[in-house]
Structure 1
């Protein structure tokens, strides 16, 4: 199958060799940041028994989704950029000359990217619900939020997210996944001869799903923070009574999750605008690069937010660092 690389006349797609090298260096540095940050997150939330809580499992699931982006998605973009730099004289290439006719890597890489993005927002939504229960119904927290239920929800989230990620390929014969030289990503594209109006509409599922969950997340956060504000005003009275109230750690965790929500909303919004623009027939080469890589960069922001907002996370990370130093000194 011959696939035309739809290149718009723009500075990103037709950049100099030095600009391409800087882009590759940026991708490599981003890969390192994603891998290191999320490996630390996984070790902190799964390597310490104190952190093996429902909230810890949800944060670990979020880290796994981000880690998959760092292991598969970004390195493949680095590989393709280097490959295309060697073939930069061609404006059209045949997929069979690069990969097997029966296996196109972008089908896997693009699905992983879309699926992990959906897993991230779904997990943030579950984290928000978990914190809202801890704040609004602290006496019911242990009974409602159990490890078994949390692990079941995580499994459902992954299955549903990846089903939604492949739905454009299943329900529309006019759409495929291919490497886009503008965004430097494996993106959905029309099969040669496909009808745009029939093919692209299904892609609106992604922004609709994400903004529905983000809207619900924001609404739950507002409800939780309203309760926190009311508690703050009445803390003196509550201190003298036996009424249940959220703990300080629950409040801090709620604020951390609210920060995660804002960061994801800010990073996903440009991609949503780009998808809607594609459905309407717009082709924004420069904008597609910045939109998709802003979203990809969000995969290393979670550990930064934890480090700034979560004191327990910092302490456990420092304990981990101390243990690694001690092990290194013992080996030497």
Structure 2
């Protein structure tokens, strides 16, 4: 989420008209995928009573964060890129001149992108905790995991994530949000004419926060799956001794959900890692124009992967989504 200290030429920035058209087409298709996928997710988790659970609310929160990226962040990049193509503007042209001095959209768009990224990983962390309690303490799950507590944690997650996203602008006068011709997004950058200061290192909060939560998520997942494996072994031993199984096992749906959340964690880790490398590199003074484009858009593409993971891993979600699709087709045919 860092722009280059100085604008430099690169193959991504100085590409042909055909390459620019392909890039804009990719952005438009990605917008459609993010919007459709996360709208389906919200309809399934909020429109069905059986999904109105603490886990369902957390997944709905994750979908809202991804949806915000598809509604605001990617369409803004599409708008700017199409405008620049029509104007045939050089890469040195200040994109900020597109807007008035009183309002710079990047101040909003960049904060939304950073905040929603942080919301995503914090929500995955909360999902992991919720599943671990269901697996490790199945008899205490309903007493510990309540809707009220879940909604409170979701609110805290959103507030803390957006506060952290805005912290570089609040606590460092030398950092602003500008549209980058390299990443084709609104990124943090130094104020023109200023040299890097210690305040620039505040941007390391982003990878530190994300990898701390990701590390905790992985550790909790390992603990949960170790418990499942231990239970399976004990169940086999009790079955052989003909004493029956008096344990309080996690349900099959709990185990299935834990595997789904583990898959979400792996997907987010893979998509966020290039951004973390890019941020650290920029703080150290490296200028990676081409790499910034691929790093940011790999992370953005993750916003449409959740619905795919749910569809593959969660049979109930897949069935409900198909029911909604079938119902919409029947309604359309009836109207005709």
Normalised TM-score (structure 1): 0.96
Instruction: Report what 1:65 is aligned to.
Output: 65
Task: Output one character per residue of 1:102-160: Cα deviation in whole Å (capped at 9) or x when no partner.
Answer: 11000000000000000000000000000000000000000000000000000000010
SS in 1 for 2:15: coil
Q: How many residues align?
A: 330
Instruction: Report what 1:284 is aligned to.
Output: 288
Residue 7 (structure 1) shift:
3.5
Instruction: Report what 1:33 is aligned to.
Output: 33
- Please report the RMSD computed on the Cα atoms of aligned residues, expressed in angstroms: 1.7
Once residues 92 and 11 of structure 1 are traced to their aligned partners in structure 2, the CA distance between those partners, rounded to angstroms, is 14
Once residues 4 and 256 of structure 1 are traced to their aligned partners in structure 2, the CA distance between those partners, rounded to angstroms, is 37
**Distance of aligned partners of 1:106 and 1:73 in 2 relative to their CA distance in 1, 3 Å threshold:** same
Residue 326 (structure 1) shift:
2.0
SS in 2 for 1:170: helix
SS in 1 for 2:197: helix
Residue 209 (1) aligns with residue 209 (2) = yes
**Conserved 8 A contact 2:176-2:188:** yes
**Distance of aligned partners of 1:101 and 1:250 in 2 relative to their CA distance in 1, 3 Å threshold:** same
Residue 163 (structure 1) shift:
0.3
Residue 320 (1) aligns with residue 324 (2) = yes
Task: Output one character per residue of 1:249-271: Cα deviation in whole Å (capped at 9) or x when no partner.
Answer: 00000000000000000000000
SS in 1 for 2:122: helix
Instruction: Report what 1:194 is aligned to.
Output: 194
Instruction: Report what 1:50 is aligned to.
Output: 50
**Distance of aligned partners of 1:5 and 1:30 in 2 relative to their CA distance in 1, 3 Å threshold:** farther
SS in 2 for 1:234: helix
Match runs of 1:86-235 below 5 Å = 86-94=86-94, 97-235=97-235
**Distance of aligned partners of 1:175 and 1:142 in 2 relative to their CA distance in 1, 3 Å threshold:** same
Once residues 172 and 266 of structure 1 are traced to their aligned partners in structure 2, the CA distance between those partners, rounded to angstroms, is 30
Once residues 295 and 321 of structure 1 are traced to their aligned partners in structure 2, the CA distance between those partners, rounded to angstroms, is 28
**Conserved 8 A contact 2:14-2:91:** no
**Conserved 8 A contact 2:91-2:181:** no
**Distance of aligned partners of 1:135 and 1:88 in 2 relative to their CA distance in 1, 3 Å threshold:** same
Residue 226 (structure 1) shift:
0.4
Once residues 112 and 153 of structure 1 are traced to their aligned partners in structure 2, the CA distance between those partners, rounded to angstroms, is 19
Residue 300 (structure 1) shift:
0.2
**Conserved 8 A contact 2:5-2:190:** no
Instruction: Report what 1:293 is aligned to.
Output: 297
Once residues 6 and 88 of structure 1 are traced to their aligned partners in structure 2, the CA distance between those partners, rounded to angstroms, is 22
Instruction: Report what 1:75 is aligned to.
Output: 75
Instruction: Report what 1:305 is aligned to.
Output: 309
Instruction: Report what 2:247 is aligned to.
Output: 243
Once residues 323 and 312 of structure 2 are traced to their aligned partners in structure 1, the CA distance between those partners, rounded to angstroms, is 16
Residue 89 (structure 1) shift:
3.8
- Runs of 5+ unmatched residues, structure 2: none
**Conserved 8 A contact 1:27-1:78:** yes
Once residues 178 and 203 of structure 2 are traced to their aligned partners in structure 1, the CA distance between those partners, rounded to angstroms, is 15
SS in 1 for 2:59: helix
